[in-house]
A = this chain, B = another copy of it.
Amino acid sequence: MADDRVKEATLDDVARRVGVSPRTVSRVVNNEAGISEATRLRVLAAVEQLNYRPNMMARALMTKRSRTVGLVGGEMTDPFFPAVAEAVEQRTWESGRTMFFASHRNDPNRQAEMLQSLWSYAVDGVIVFPAPGSIKQLRDYARRGLRIVVVDDFIRSPNVACVQFDLEAGVHLGVRHLLDGGRRKIGMIASTASSRRRRRRERSFQTAFDDSGIKPGTVVRAPTTVSGGAAGANELLGLESDLDAIFAYNDLMAIGAIRAVQALGLRVPEDVAIIGFDDIEMSTFITPALTTIRLDRSLLGNEVTHALHNLIDAPGGTPESAVVPVEFVVREST
């Protein structure tokens, strides 16, 4: 392998040039206190001249922190994810850190390897969209000292902060809207993923009916894809032929549901109203445009990064978990 890397200036080079000790240069570079303004300026000038940049590897070897954070998600191609990643990257960058990215594709083993890898790069912390069944794994890493922000799940543990959308509120909003619109037989297509998360959402689906006097509808489960949504809708309609509304776990599924319902010769929203969850770009382009609970991905990215920074700087304090509000967007499908 060609090794044509140009020799970079080191602390010693700068120090020699200025006529101070390397330690002093280090102090200047790291903005430590106790340096006279005169020395500071001379050092900075030399840094400039020699185009000195600290070697992050050496620094990390000493400090055990590399000024990096890891983002570990399912897949980039998920319509939900990129905007979060973008926001995380921005905030991370602004904090003077660089972001690793790894996608576990919902395989907990992969996720484990990724955490291990990031750990050996001495990341300051990681933001994780957990793979199914990986709670224990995350807890273990947290115990080892890794700072973790968990998105869309809840783990009570030191070194772990949790950030979630207020999906309960979203579900309530949606169900109320349907009830107010006169819908009486409302089904839900839930996700086949994490039972922990699932339970919470399904419970809020139930409770949304509580003081309406109307019976909560049937819940079916399907994969969180367009075709999954279609399958779910068909199952629902098979179970309850007089269904007049469907609540889907996400927009992708809602779009699948719309197609399935239409394929059955029913009209949306006249015969069946449909609500999604996410507000992905596509939702405005389909016919009918999808009514949905908008989850603001940038906001989530910001919150999540903020939580991680708190965790990193925390003097051992127990982290709290944050809830990100959601917004109800009425379009044509209800």
The stretch of A53-61, A175-183, A229-237 that contacts the partner chain: A53-61
The stretch of A128-136, A148-156, A308-316 that contacts the partner chain: A308-316
A314 touching B83 by the CB < 8 A rule?
no
- What is the bound-complex CA distance between A34 and B306, given in angstroms? 50
Interface string of A119-144 (1 = CB under 8 A from B): 11110000000000000000000011
Interfacial chain B residues near A143, Cβ < 8 Å: 6
Closest B residue, CB atoms, query A116: B53
Q: How far is the CB of A90 from chain B (nearest CB, A)?
A: 8
Interfacial chain B residues near A50, Cβ < 8 Å: none
Number of copies of this chain that the complex holds:
2
Query: Secondary structure of the A side of the interface?
Result: mixed
Interfacial chain B residues near A295, Cβ < 8 Å: none
Q: How far is the CB of A70 from chain B (nearest CB, A)?
A: 8
How many positions in chain A have a CB within 8 Å of any CB in the partner chain? 60
Q: How far is the CB of A135 from chain B (nearest CB, A)?
A: 19
- What is the bound-complex CA distance between A56 and B114, given in angstroms? 14
Interfacial chain B residues near A64, Cβ < 8 Å: 3, 5
Closest B residue, CB atoms, query A123: B98
A38 in contact (CB, < 8 A): no
A1 touching B86 by the CB < 8 A rule?
no
Interfacial chain B residues near A120, Cβ < 8 Å: 53-56
A89 in contact (CB, < 8 A): yes
Interfacial chain B residues near A316, Cβ < 8 Å: 2, 4
A145 in contact (CB, < 8 A): yes
A89 touching B101 by the CB < 8 A rule?
yes
Interfacial chain B residues near A273, Cβ < 8 Å: none
- What is the bound-complex CA distance between A55 and B120, given in angstroms? 5
Q: List 15 A-B contacts (CB under 8 A).
A: A4-B145, A6-B143, A53-B116, A53-B120, A56-B122, A57-B61, A57-B121, A75-B86, A76-B82, A81-B82, A85-B101, A98-B117, A99-B101, A100-B101, A285-B285
